[in-house]
Structure formats: structure tokens, C-alpha cells
Chains A and B, each alone.
Chain A
Amino acid sequence: MYFGLTVSMVAHLALLGWALMAFQTTEPYKMAEPEAVEVAIISADELVRLRQGDRDSKKLETRPAEKIEKKPTEQEAKREIVKTVPPPAASPPEAQDDPISKKLAALQPVEPKGPTAEEIAAKKAAEEAAKKAADEAAKKAAAQKAAEELALQKAAEEKKKQAEAEAEKKRKADAEKKRKAEERRKRVAAEKKRRQDADRKRKLAEQRRRDKERQAKSFDSGKISALLNKIPDAAAPQGGNPDPNARPDAPRGARAGAPEGRDTRLTASQRSLLGAMMKRAVSQCWNINSGLEGVDRMVVELEVRLGPDGRLQGQPRVANNRGGAIFQDAVNSAVRALIQCEPYDLPKEFYKGGWDHMVVTFDPQKMF
């Protein structure tokens, strides 16, 4: 009985001890640490604004993703270096057999074998004499070589000069030939371009004319009032058909309110040019009663219509009628000037919308 108890107690103790030991040595449970997240506190109105969008907010510029430069590896770098290294220069030409060297080589003394003192002295003297002779020969050879080199150099230079002269001559001839060819080519090209331009301009003008005709057909300025007037007017032209009674040469344009108003046809500088030409022409014929008291203040504005032949069409109309004998005299002077100077030689292309209808102001104030 006691045995059993003892065994039981020992067994239990052993179990407890194992358990205790085992518990202590158990690997602790490791949880993965969570990544830190940046948190910003947003108020309720900010949230609303964010959702609605803020008009004053700065516009963020979209930046292109940064391009990561890939660093070359060492091998690649080496390869790169190899690539960039210039190829070795061509090996220098082999030294040619030099006759002078050969001569020198022939003059080399043979190595003595166990010479005596006399032999040595004699040898020395001989050596010295030989050396002297060799030196002289060498000097001579050098001089000869130098002379030959000089002669060769001169000959080479001469040849080179001749070659250069010939090359120059040839080059000049080539250049001349090339220049002539270029000129011919340019001339042909210019002529071609001119023809093309003229053709293009003609086509453009034709196109514009057609457009205008189309516009004129599709829009009748005389019917604006009919379009605006919602109440049917018996007198107003009906429909889009052209008025059969309308004169084809009836004045249209700005005065008639046409959208193709002629005032838009000429540029300001063209109008200015026309004004200057007209002024120069009319000034020649304008004469006033310069001694008349008050004539310097008589500014006369005349509405003038000219025909394509440069002649007045009808009597000019006074646009600023003031009345009075002196004003009437000033008007007469102005009209007289316009009549006396006709016909007016003005650019034909500026006729329509340019000088077919003008306001000419005669202002004598500057002359007094």
C-alpha cells in the first residue's frame, strides 16, 4: 500500500515537475506588430466641405511619376567604359631599312678574343680612328640624309602644292558648276512657287467670290425688318426669294446693314491709303476765298459717290449743313474741287466699299 502511495506520489511529483519545466520552456506566442497609420482629425464642416469641393482650393499640379534612374551594374559600367574607349590608333608603320644604319652596322668592330696590351692600345687607337672615321661618316651620312630629306621634302611640298592647286581648281570649277545648278534650281522653284501662289490666290479669290454670292443669296439685308417684325407687313418682302424689282447695282453694305458690310472689306491701312490718295488729288483743285472773314472756320463735309471710272456719281451731298452765305461759298469751293479733279485714279481693287462712297471733309483751319 505504501508502495503504491509512494509510487503515486513520485509519479505525481515527476509529472508536476515536468509540467513545470515544460511550461517554462514553451515558446511564447508572437503577434505580428500592426503598421502605424497616420490619422488626422476632421471636423464635421470640413467633412462637408471636402465632400462639396472647395472653389478656393489650390489646384494640385499633377506631377509625373519620378523616373528612377537605374544604376548600371559594375559589369555594365565596365562594358560602357569599353564602349566609350576609343579604338586604338593604327600601329605606327614599321621602320624601313635605313641605308645609313646598314652602313653603320657594317662599321661595327668584331668582338676581340683575349687581346694583349699592345693589341688593346692598338685596338684603342684603331677604335678611336675607326670611331673618328665612323663619326665623320655618320656626320656625312647625316648631312647627306638631311639634304636628301630636304630635297624629298621640297619635292613632296612641290607635289603637294601642285596637287592642292589642282584640287583648288577642281573645287572651284565644281563650286561654280554647283552654284549654277543651284541658281537654276532656285529659279525654277521660284517660278513654280509664283505660279502656285498666283493659282492659289486666284482660287482663293474665286472661292471668296462664290462664298459672297452664296451669302448674298442666302441672306437678304433688306428683309431684316421683315424678320424682326412679327406682325405681317404687306409692304415687306415675303419669303426668301430675291426681290425681282431690286436693282442688282443698288448700294448695299454698311448703310443697308448687310452683314457683309463693305466697311469690313478694307483694312484700316487700306482706308488710310485711300484717304491719302484722295486728299492729294483733291488738294490740287481746292481753292478758297482765303481773305474772307470767318472762312477759316468753314469745315464742309461732303458725302461723295464715285463711279468705277473715278467720276462723280450725282451731286455730292452736304453732311454738315450749317447755312449762311460763307458756308455756302465754302460748300461751292469744295464741290468745285471735287468736280475739277475728276476722274480719280484710285486702286480698282479698293472700289467696292472703299472709294465708291466716301465722306470728304474740307477743313481749312490748318491753313490759317
Chain B
Amino acid sequence: MTDRNNERSSVEVNRRQMLAVTGSALGAALVPGAGALAQTRVTVDEANLRPRPIAIPAFLGEDPRLAQAIADVVQADLERSGLFRPLDRGAFIEQINDLATAPRFADWRAVGAEALVVGQVTKLQDGRFRAEFRLWDTVLGKSLTAQHFATDPRAWRRLGHIIADQIYEKLTLEKGYFDTRVVFIDETGPKNKRLKRLAIMDQDGHNVRLLSSGQELVLTPRFNPQSQQICYMSYVGGNPRVQMMDLATGQRQVVGDFPNMTFAPRFAPDGRRIVMSLQEGGASSLVEMDLGSRRISQLTQTGAIDTGPCYAPDGRQIVFESDREGTQQLYVMGANGAGQRRISSGPGRYSTPVWSPRGDYIAFTKQYAGRFLIGVMRPDGTGERVLTEGFHNEGPTWAPNGRVLMFFREHRGANGGPSIYSIDLTGYNERRVTTPSFASDPAWSPLLS
């Protein structure tokens, strides 16, 4: 009897064990990664955030100087972004001789490169030249992209910017901003008799061209997001007026026929409308003009000074500054002027609001405690943070990818003057943009290509 009981219990145990084993096996088979639950698990929640090391050897080509110059433009663009750290070419182990052959990844990893750009420039029969490049991920050991472009030899710098944009986009998953231009006010002469002229340059400060002679005062130039067209305020016959200029043709025209002064213009995202301030006695209101029909809509009329309007990237809202409550503050309203509400709430005075092309932030100038700050806040007024501060910072403008800003900084002293600076949205990587003379009031263009 006892033996039988023992036998039965042992049978039960075996069945139970077998059921358990079967259950485990089924579970492991049905649940993906279930087997991994019993393994050592590691959670990495800290990163070593740093610019990515990238190797950009001189491009190959019949004209080594041109090939190297293009590679230099690419390298300088990536370096200025603050997201990449180009490596010293002298340290490279492998000599690139051929774009078709895969590089020795171990050699590039050995010098610390995470990415490698190889390129080649060849002359075409029609006088143009062709540039091609290939981007490698040296750590993963794979090609990320390979492209080629043909252009006029005079546009070699732009070609470098275009290649840099492609690399930037591939490695950051965001649109680049190197093939862009900046209009600004070029300032020359003594402080009390400063000559202010409209000028344009590449985003890296090269290729500066003057767009006005300096006979008339020009202020607040703004780019049309859809074309190579700018609007600005100019004293035409001693009367301030908003004007437009086609950069390709140099043709100018006055925007609207207003009895009073118009200023602080800004294109709508679709490029078909302009919103601006219209002086009315001691106050100013905001008006919108349809460039096609020339129809004018009054957006605000509060008896206060409403100015500095800027559209949201979807064109549905407008942010502007107003002193209707005593001091300059930021307000947001619908594109038709409805639903005006204040968004700035901190101490100090807020001005020159600019909506980011990504739509996530509004940049502004803030005057507080005798200093001028450049900051950003969410469109609802939350998340305000200061990117930079100083004696006199003003006039932020966004790069088309919404990640970098430019602004100008006035330096003290009799010989002091304004200079243009760029800064990352995070507040890091502040760089001065080299210009031939003093420069103020920058406005960033959309991507040219």
C-alpha cells in the first residue's frame, strides 16, 4: 500500500514537472524574447553627448585645389554646426584613391572616425564640373549615401554647402541649413554717421554682396520663405515705407500705398501675404496685405503700439509685441486677428518675436535688468529659457531647420558696433559670423535647393 502511494506521488510529480517544462517551452516559443528574461540585463541611461568625429579627406580630382577647397567648405560647415568634429587630415592612415572601393573601416575607426566622406570632382565637357561624394559609417561598416551634382565652376562653394547639407541630413535626420543665405544691414563709417546698406551673404559669411547704395536708410529686411525675395523698411523720399526686392532681378516695389509710415514687415509662410505695422498717430496697428489682390486687412487696433508681427509656420497664427498693458509683451492671435492673448509672463520687456520654422518655439529679445537677452519660449508662453545675454543682443532669426538662430550683438565703446552671431537652440555653440564690416539685423533665407 505504501509502495503504491509512493509510486502514485512520484507519477504525479513527474506529470507536474513535465507540465511545467511544457509550459515553459510553450511560453518561450510564443513570447518573443521570453528566453532573454533570464539573461543579464543592462540598462544604459547615460550617454556621452559629444560632436560626432568625422573624417573628410581632400576630394579626388583633376584640379586638386578645387577638390580640396570643396572638401574644406564641407568640413567647415559641419564643424560650425557644433554637431560634428572633423578630424585632422594628417592623422589619417588610409589614403583614399578610389570612390568605388570600400575603405578600410578599421583604419578609420583607429583614428576615431565614426563617419567618412570621400569625394571626387571631375570636369565635364560643357564647362561645368561634376562633384560626387560617398558617406560611410565606419563603425557599422556601411555606406549611408552617395550622390553627385553638376554645377558652374563659380558656384563651387555652394556645391560644398549642398554636400554638407546631405551629410548633415543623413547623420542627424534633420534638414540641413548650409545652402542658405542671410540678408543683413551692413554698417560702415563712424558711429555718429553710420552708413547702413542692405547686404546678403552665404550663411557662413562668404560671398557678401551689397543690395543698396546706402543713400537711404534700410531696416528690418525679411526673407520670403518661398522665394528669393525680401521685404524691408526703407525711407523713400524721407517717408518710411515697406518695400520688396527680387534678389534675382534686383527689382523693387513699395508695398501698399499708406498715408502713414509702415514698418516691421514679415512674409506669410506661403509668401503671398505680408503682415506689417501701420503708424496711426502715436500708436501703431497691425495690417495684412494680400500681395496678389493688394487687399488690406486690419488685424489689431487697440491704440497701443502693436508691432513685430510674425506668422506661425502653418500661417494660422501670428505672434507680435504690444505695449497695450503698459510694457512691451508678446501676444498671439489668429491670422485674422481673433483671439489675441498674451503669452509672455516673466519680468522685463519682450520684443522681436520670431516663430520657429518647426513651430515648436518662439524666439525673442528680452530687455531685463539693463541687459538684452535672446531667449525662446513655447507658443503658449511656457518653457521660457535664455540662450544668450549681453550688453545689447537683438533681432533673432531662425535657420530653416529651426535648430540654429542668428542674432546681432552690439559692442560697447566709441569704436564698437554690431556683429552677427549664431547659436544653437540649446544655447550652446555660439559663433561669430565673419562679415567685412559691422553687421546687424540678420534674416535667414529658406534653403536654396
**Chain B associates with chain A:** yes
Interface residue ranges, A against B (CB under 8 Å): 224-225, 227-228, 254-255, 257, 261-263, 266, 271, 274-275, 278-279, 282-293, 301, 303, 319, 325-326, 329, 332, 334-337, 339-340, 354-355, 357-367
A291 and B38 within 8 A (CB): no
Q: Pick the contact of A364: B39, B45, B358 (CB < 8 A).
A: B45
Q: How far is the CB of A367 from chain B (nearest CB, A)?
A: 6
- Interface size of B as a range: 35 or more
Q: How far is the CA of A367 from the CA of B46 in the complex (A)?
A: 7
28 contacts between A and B (CB under 8 A): A224-B25, A225-B25, A228-B18, A254-B38, A257-B28, A266-B40, A271-B40, A274-B40, A278-B42, A278-B44, A279-B46, A283-B48, A284-B48, A291-B83, A291-B425, A292-B173, A293-B358, A319-B32, A329-B173, A332-B137, A336-B137, A336-B140, A359-B40, A359-B41, A361-B41, A361-B42, A361-B43, A363-B44
User: A130: shortest Cβ distance to chain B, in Å?
Assistant: 114
Q: For residue A358, which residue of chain B has the nearest CB?
A: B40
Within 8 A of A (CB), among B394-421: 403
Assuming A275-B40, A291-B403, A357-B39, is B18 touching A285 (CB within 8 A)? no
Which chain B positions have C-beta within 8 A of A254?
A: 35, 38-39
- Contact residue among B28, B44, B171, B172 (Cβ-Cβ distance under 8 Å from A362): B44
- Chain B 9-25: CB-based contact to A (< 8 A → 1; otherwise 0): 00000000010011011
Chain B residues with CB under 8 Å of chain A are 18, 21-22, 24-25, 28, 32-33, 35-36, 38-50, 52, 83, 109, 114, 137, 139-140, 171-174, 358, 360, 403, 424-426
Q: Which 10 pairs across A and B sit closest by C-beta, in order of nearness?
A: A263-B38, A255-B35, A254-B38, A286-B47, A278-B42, A336-B139, A358-B40, A283-B46, A366-B45, A360-B42
User: Whole-angstrom distance from the CB of A278 to the nearest CB of chain B?
Assistant: 4
The reply to whether B174 and A282 form a contact with Cβ atoms under 8 Å apart is no
Residue in B closest to A334 when the chains form the complex, CB atoms: B44
**Given A287-B49, A287-B50, A332-B137, A319-B36 contact (CB < 8 Å):** yes
Contact A287 B22 (CB under 8 A): no
- State how many angstroms separate the Cβ of B104 from the closest Cβ of chain A: 16
The answer to whether B174 touches A291 (Cβ under 8 A) is yes
Closest to B401 in A: A291
The contact of B172 among A289, A357, A363, by CB within 8 Å, is A289
A365 touching B49, Cβ below 8 Å: no
How long is the Cα–Cα vector from A130 to B109 in the complex, in angstroms? 127
Residues A340 and B43 in contact, CB atoms below 8 Å apart = no
Contacts of B33 in A (CB 8 A): 301, 303, 319, 359
What 4 new A-B contacts, CB under 8 Å, besides A279-B46, A337-B44, A359-B40?
A257-B24, A275-B40, A292-B172, A329-B173
Supposing A228-B18, A303-B33, A367-B46 touch, asked if A336 and B39 sit within 8 A by C-beta, the answer is no
Complex Cα distance, B272 from A60, in Å, reads 102
Residues of A within 8 A of B36 (CB): 255, 303, 319, 359
Measured between alpha carbons, how far is A339 from B50 in the docked complex, in Å? 17
B140→A228 contact, CB < 8 A: no
Contact of A325 among B18, B39, B140, B173 (CB under 8 A): B173
Are A365 and B45 neighbours in the complex by a CB distance under 8 Å?
yes
Shortest beta-carbon distance from A339 to chain B in Å: 5
Chain A positions within 8 Å of B40 at CB level = 266, 271, 274-275, 278, 354-355, 357-359
Query: Closest CB-CB distance, A304 to chain B, in whole Å?
Result: 8
For A261, the chain B residues whose CB sits under 8 A away are: 38
Chain A residues within 8 Å of B52, by CB:
287
Chain B residues with Cβ below 8 Å from A354 are: 40
Tell me which of A290, A326, A359 contacts B42 (CB under 8 A): A359
Tell me the smallest distance from the CB of A287 to a CB of chain B, in Å: 6
Q: Are A263 and B39 in touch, CB under 8 angstroms?
A: yes
Q: Please tell me if the beta carbons of A358 and B39 are within 8 angstroms of each other in the complex.
A: yes
For A329, list chain B residues within 8 Å (CB).
173
Contacts of A332 in B (CB 8 A): 137, 140
Q: Assess the A275–B42 pair: CB atoms within 8 A.
A: yes
Residue of A nearest to B141 (CB): A339
Would you give the shortest CB distance from A355 to chain B, in whole angstroms? 6
Q: Would you give the shortest CB distance from B26 to chain A, in whole angstroms?
A: 11
Contact of B47 with A283 in the complex, beta carbons under 8 Å:
yes
Kindly state the separation between the CA atoms of A339 and B49 in the bound complex, as whole angstroms: 17
**Chain B residue, CB-CB nearest to A221:** B21
Q: CA A339 – CA B108 in complex, angstroms?
A: 14
Which residues from A are CB-within-8-Å of B45? 279, 363-367
| Pair B44/A279 contact, Cβ less than 8 Å | yes
Contact in complex: B42, A255 (CB < 8 Å): no
A282 to B44, CA, bound (A): 7
How many Å from the CB of A308 to the closest CB on chain B?
A: 15
Residues of B within 8 A of A291 (CB): 83, 172, 174, 403, 424-426
Knowing A286-B48, A329-B173, the reply to whether A224 touches B42 (Cβ < 8 A) is: no
Chain A residue at minimal CB-CB distance from B109: A340
Inter-chain contact A285/B48, CB cutoff 8 Å: yes
Residue of A nearest to B424 (CB): A291
Task: Say whether B44 contacts A360, CB under 8 Å.
Answer: yes
In the assembled complex, the CB of B270 is this many whole angstroms from the nearest CB of chain A, namely 24
Rounded to whole angstroms, the CA-CA distance of A335 and B139 in the bound complex is 9
Cα distance, A262 to B40, chains bound together (Å): 10
Please give me the residue from chain B that is nearest to A272 by CB atom.
B40
| B169, chain A: closest CB distance, angstroms | 11
Instruction: Indicate whether A257 sits within 8 Å of B47 (C-beta atoms), given known contacts A271-B40, A291-B425, A358-B41.
Output: no
Give A202 to B47 CA distance when docked, in angstroms.
41
Which B residue's beta carbon lies closest to that of A292?
A: B173
Tell me which of B24, B28, B36 has the highest count of chain A C-beta atoms within 10 A of its own C-beta: B36
Residues of A within 8 A of B46 (CB): 279, 283, 286, 366-367
